[in-house]
Structure 1
Amino acid sequence: MTDTNDTTTVAQPDDATLSDRVEAALRAVRDPAAGLSVFEAGFVEDVTVTEGEVRIEADLHALDADTGQGVVDAMLRAVDDVDGVEGVHVERASPSAEGRASVGAFDHVVAVASAKGGVGKSTVATHLACALAADNDVALFDADIHGPNVPSLVEASGPIHATDDGDPMPVRRRGMDVMSVGLMEDGAPLAWRGAMAHDALSDLFENTAWENDDVLVVDLPPGTGDVVLTTLQDVPVDGVVVVTTPFHSAISDTGRTVELFRDNDVPVLGAVVNMAEYVCDCCGEPNDLFEASTDALDAPVLAELPFTKELQGTPEPGDVPESVATLGDRVRTALDEAWTVGAPDDAVDIRDCPPEERKQRVRERFESLDGGGAFTLVSDRDPTPVGDFLSRLAETPRAAFDIEVRRATPDDWVLETTKP
């Protein structure tokens, strides 16, 4: 602390009082996103003053390249204006791997997929990540290595820095981690063959040093190729959100994609129907862009998003359109219920039964019901053939039964019907 006594002040070394003035100047420099001083934001690691020369050690890895350079420029200007400063230099501190997580450390991993390109999958993925960031520490991984659009959609830019151990670090976007091969390439087309794509993606999945570790949102490439299968092998995906438009071929293809994920033991959290309608700017009337039923999806519809300029803008972590905020809430709920079967207490559960006991359990429960009674069966395999067995038990044609079979989780099926 500087002594206010004039005699004492004159006797102190010049560097001591100059250090106080330099620090005061730096405290006036703010983090543009958080509104904190560079000290409060943790950007300044150390300040040394020697014979009028000021050296500032700054850790700016949490900022994207443009914002970080802006903070550096602001610190240089602030300190250069201090009387007695002969020169000033900002040295960026080497980032540390301490406290950083691998992909396996996330509480939840949500993949966003589509059967076709051009349905708005990356737009949904980036908006969903920003919606989840309202209540969670979120990371966004762009696994679409042939068309990495995430950086431009969230306005994130490189360069990618590395930890002391050489692991790539994600770019920070207002508290959200973002990683994409698009942050490391020079804008040239990426024409990688299968093995190269597999190795590049596996390396990023394994070695990226994440700062956040609550929820990881993975933007998959369209279709069901090598990159999608690599992701399912390398990453513990807790659930997938499929994106489609309400166009008949897109709906049909998406239904097959749903089955692919379930066959790979990945819960399908639900579907997002994008570009569901367009609201006329002139009259305000909504208009359907396509005419198709979503019944073939075999998945709950989490959201029907309109074709609107609002969803074409840049999403901000924690600040998204209302329709996307609702989608985020439904995805959180779906994650909590992803492995829940949702059958009534009196359902017949044959998942752990020996084969010879399964029919007996079904028979006992079905024959105990009065006509019009509800019958529910939970099985670890597709129970559709049970309909024929029930028909024989009731001595009633199979067509008399209204039977619904649904795959509740990747491992569980539910059959529901009513005894004639």
Structure 2
Amino acid sequence: MTDESPRTDEEIQRAVVDRVREVQILGSDPVSEQLIEDIDVAEGIVTFTVDFEPVDRVLADRLTDQLRGAGLATDGVAHVRVEAAGADAPETGLPVSGVDSIIAVGSAKGGVGKTTITASLARALAEDGLDVGVFDANVYAPDAPDLLEAAGPVQTSPTGRPMPVEADGIQVVSIELIAEDGPVAWRGAMVHDVVKDLLGNAAWDDRDVLLVDLPPGIGDAVYTIVQQAPLDGGLLVSTPTDEGVRATQRTAALYAANDVSTIGVVPNMVGSADETTAGPFDGTDPSVATDVAESAYDEIDPIPFDPALREPTARSFDEPATDGEAAIDALRETVESFLASDAGPQVPDDAVDLRGLPPETCQRQVVTELGASTDGPVSILMRGEPADLVDVVDESLARDDRSLERTTVDDLGYEGWLVELEPTAAPASEPAT
């Protein structure tokens, strides 16, 4: 007797992989050629994540059609989607995919506590439920992994992308987790290349926010990130000294020159509020923030000198026990408020991500999605010209005596376009006579 029970997602996935291995491209199959980064199966829907970089547009279209055919030829598969690896990366500048928001933490002055602030803020955001990543951009003295207790080495994905190391839920990438042979004499273009490779190509896994710990000074790493990365905003860290303020002003000017919004200025390592802990500074001049940056999203309370912050992994910022912990928790609130105010249109959870696909492939996938949808509009994330897509969809629907009842297009900036398409209902079929 034949077992007719539904197959599990794992069984379907293995069957799809076997089918894909029968596809011939570039003299081999997509799995062996490492073109397939992921195959996900859920509720009868197979989603292929494909690295299209090694193939031209013609091969990309052919590969997409073959993958769709292999998926649909597998028992238990009702629908197939093809997405591009790194789909949410911007088309120009320094691409960073897999993250919703990127915030730089900087100051041209060394020793002001940028890394401690970054690590503590990362922990506070993670405790509040956000998926957090940390990129340590200091190629000369990388300290973030130690503060976050992240241990390497960094591994690579099947397509050669650096895989972040996970430390208690926080994903971390740093040269410290790669350069196991000790210090490296990075110079000029080498710094640019290593930052671009580690930050731009890292396989960040669906992070709500990525904190970038900038090195001191205004060097190659800082310029590369501030000028080319899709930063949503930047924090400035300064000690309440003339030297600290002057140095941080240079980073503030770099933010402003590259249209990076300043979230606020963090006066760091001041004397504790209750004067029970001696600090390197007696207090903070209230003009520090205005001296550093002409405008900022919000005023940030000083961070007192607190030895507890030397071990951020041992702290609980949602239930602060020290003045330093409470100040970091307040900083977390400011950052989350900035992210909420800076957020664009809300992308639906079920939006189909078609960024990075060739235009013809994207259009065919949208028509397929509309044909498979039976319960309302379809949301699409895409690049290219939305009007061209709408024209193709209109023509396709007209062949079935249908049309678009509603079309909404939102510009997401470097993230592309959010397009919501709601077609009219399919005409009722005539009863058989």
Q: CA 1:234 to 1:264, structure 2 compared with 1: closer, same or farther past 3 Å?
A: closer
Name the structure 2 match of 1:108: 101
Distance in 1, matches of 2:274 and 2:168, equals 34
Match of 2:263 among 269, 275, 279: 269
Q: Which has the larger radius of gyration?
A: 1
Instruction: From the superposition, tell whether residues 231 and 286 of structure 1 become closer, same or farther in structure 2 (CA, over 3 Å).
Output: closer
Check 1:233–1:291 CA distance in 2 against 1; reply closer, same or farther (3 A cut). Answer: closer
Give structure 1 stretches of 5+ with no counterpart. 1-41, 47-93, 341-420
Contact 1:115 1:253 in 2 (8 A): yes
Look up the match of 2:331: 327
Q: TM-score, normalised by structure 2?
A: 0.52
Secondary structure in 2 matching 1:197: helix
**Aligned 8 A contact 2:98 2:205 in 1:** no
For the pair 1:233 / 2:227, whether they are aligned, the reply is yes
The match for 1:343 is none
Asked if the contact 1:247–1:290 (Cα under 8 Å) also holds between the matched residues in 2, the reply is no
Structure 1 residue 336 corresponds to structure 2 residue 340: yes
Counterpart position of 1:53: none
Which of 106, 128, 140 does residue 121 from structure 2 map onto?
128
- Letter of the 2:97 counterpart: G
Aligned positions of 1:146-225 closer than 5 A: 146-186=140-180, 188-225=182-219
1:181–1:251 distance in 2 versus 1, CA, 3 Å: same
Deviation at 1:194, TM superposition (A): 0.7
Tell me by how many angstroms 1:288 deviates.
Answer: 4.4
After superposition, the Cα gap between the structure-2 partners of 1:148 and 1:163, relative to the gap in structure 1 and judged at 3 Å, is: same
Alignment partners' CA distance in 2, 1:187 and 1:322: 39
Instruction: Kindly indicate whether the alpha-carbon contact (under 8 Å) linking 1:171 and 1:177 is maintained by their aligned counterparts in 2.
Output: yes
1:297 and 2:292 matched: yes
Change (3 A) 1:167 1:330: same
Please tell me whether the aligned partners of residues 142 and 218 of structure 1 are also in contact (alpha carbons under 8 angstroms).
yes
1:148 CA displacement: 0.8
Equivalent pair of 2:154/2:165 in contact (CA under 8 Å):
yes
CA contact (8 A) 2:149 2:313 kept: no
Provide the aligned length of Structure 1 versus Structure 2: 248
* Letter matched to residue 242 of structure 1: L
Cα pair 1:115 1:254 within 8 Å, conserved: yes
Whole-angstrom CA distance in 2 between matches of 1:328 and 1:280? 22
Pick the aligned partner of 1:259 from 242, 253, 257.
Answer: 253
SS in 2 for 1:146: coil
Task: Provide the identity percentage.
Answer: 37
Partner SS, residue 171 of structure 2: strand
What is the letter of the counterpart of residue 107 of structure 2? S
**Could you say if the C-alpha distance between residues 308 and 317 of structure 1 is closer, same or farther in structure 2, counting changes exceeding 3 Å?**
closer
Residue range with higher mean Cα deviation, 176-185 or 308-317: 308-317
Matched residue, 2:241:
247
AA aligned opposite 2:99: F
Matched residue SS, 1:130: helix
Q: Residue by residue, what CA displacement relative to the aligned partner does 1:218-259 show, whole Å, maximum 9, x if unpaired?
A: 111112211111012332000000101011121122223212
User: How far apart are the structure 2 equivalents of 1:270 and 1:329?
Assistant: 12
> Cα gap change, 1:132/1:339 in structure 2, threshold over 3 Å: closer, same or farther?
closer
Matches of 1:106 and 1:284 in 2, distance apart?
38
Separation in 1 of the partners of 2:118 and 2:148? 11
Q: Partner letter of residue 249 of structure 1?
A: E
User: What letter corresponds to residue 325 of structure 1 in structure 2?
Assistant: D
Counterpart-to-counterpart distance in 1, 2:279 and 2:143: 29
Q: Output the aligned Cα RMSD.
A: 3.1
Corresponding residue number in structure 1 for 2:352: none
| TM-score (structure 1 length as normaliser) | 0.54
* Cα gap change, 1:249 to 1:290, in 2 (>3 Å): farther
Residues 70-104 of structure 1: CA deviation (Å, up to 9, x unaligned): xxxxxxxxxxxxxxxxxxxxxxxx9x943786623
Indicate how the Cα distance of structure 1 residues 304 and 291 shifts in structure 2: closer, same or farther if over 3 A, else same: closer
